């Protein structure tokens, strides 16, 4: 399936930022065996967010394995000047880019630039940004990402106000798939679904477990 088709379904997306990088290929393979097909890849630049995370050369190393199993890569750009990264991400095997509202001067133009690079386009927003403000400029996006933490690090606690923020976003943009990222786990995923989200990113809830496929399937089953 293409990313365009995946975003119309309900998906749990492992965030590779939480992976054990010494065993990245093995961990991705174990999740593919558990029928996971959408992977989230965080690029942080040390400016928009404090940490430098990982970049196109890591994506390029792992994308063939995921694509071989008909999977897709959803790339979350936690960076200043996001459009600079579109061509390198596309060349490395990314399928979509989600850039931050707070980092883009012109959201519709940045969406167009992503599509010109052959990518699907998402718009993310941080806890200090109002959902309606983003909705006003993101109606044309393929997905909108409501952050449930301040972007930057895995392992932060889920912010409880996210449920209401997802509901507000759902009201403002009834037709755009909503993704949630940050602190997503088996205790909050179902309520996030009820609030209107369909795409759930999870690092710690999967990679901190001893049995990754089991942790992934538990989240999927909690949604069923
Ligand atoms: C950090 C990243 C997230 C992160 C989520 O801001 O955007 O994707 O990996 O990690 P958890 O699920 O542990 O909050
Ligand atoms: Zn992310």
Residue with tokens 């759902």: 170
Question: Given pLDDT bands bounded at 50, 70 and 90, which one contains residue 193?
Answer: very high
The one-character DSSP state at 18 is: G
Q: Is 127 exposed, middle or buried (0-12, 13-18, 19+ CB in 10 A)?
A: middle
- Domains of the chain plus CATH, in order, are 3-223 (3.20.20.70)
Ligand 1: which residue has its CA nearest to atom 10? Answer: 154
Q: What is the mean pLDDT of residues 191-214?
A: 98
pLDDT at 7: 79
Distance of CA 20 from the midpoint of ligand 1 (Å): 14
Q: Is 2 exposed, middle or buried (0-12, 13-18, 19+ CB in 10 A)?
A: exposed
**Taking the model in full, what pTM does it have?**
0.98
3-class DSSP assignment, residue 42: strand
Distance of CA 145 from the midpoint of ligand 2 (Å): 9
Residue 2: pLDDT over 90: no
What does the pLDDT look like over 169-190, one tens digit per residue? Answer: 999 999 999 999 999 999 999 9
Q: Which residues surround ligand 2, an ion (CB under 5 A)?
A: 42, 76, 181
What is the phi-psi region of residue 182: left when phi exceeds 0, alpha when psi lies from -120 to 50, beta otherwise?
A: left
């Amino acid at each position: 399936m293409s990313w365009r088709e995946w975003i119309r379904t309900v998906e749990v997306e492992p965030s590779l930022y939480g992976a054990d990088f010494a065993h990245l290929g093995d961990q991705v393979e174990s999740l593919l065996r558990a029928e996971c097909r959408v992977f989230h890849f965080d690029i942080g630049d040390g400016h928009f967010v404090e940490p430098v995370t990982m970049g196109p050369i890591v994506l390029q190393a792992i994308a063939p394995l995921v694509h071989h199993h008909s999977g897709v890569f959803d790339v979350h750009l936690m960076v200043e000047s996001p459009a600079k990264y579109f061509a390198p991400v596309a060349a490395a095997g990314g399928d979509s880019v989600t850039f931050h509202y707070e980092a883009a001067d012109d959201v519709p133009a940045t969406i167009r630039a992503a599509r010109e690079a052959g990518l699907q386009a998402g718009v993310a927003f941080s806890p200090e940004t109002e959902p309606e403000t983003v909705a006003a400029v993101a109606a044309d996006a393929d997905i909108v990402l409501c952050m449930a933490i301040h972007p930057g690090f895995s392992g932060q606690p889920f912010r409880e106000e996210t449920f209401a923020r997802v509901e507000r976003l759902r009201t403002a943009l009834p037709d755009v798939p909503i993704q949630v990222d940050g602190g997503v786990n088996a205790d909050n995923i179902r309520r996030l679904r009820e609030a209107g989200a369909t795409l759930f990113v999870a690092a710690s809830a999967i990679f901190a477990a001893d049995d990754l496929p089991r942790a992934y399937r538990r989240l999927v089953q909690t949604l069923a």
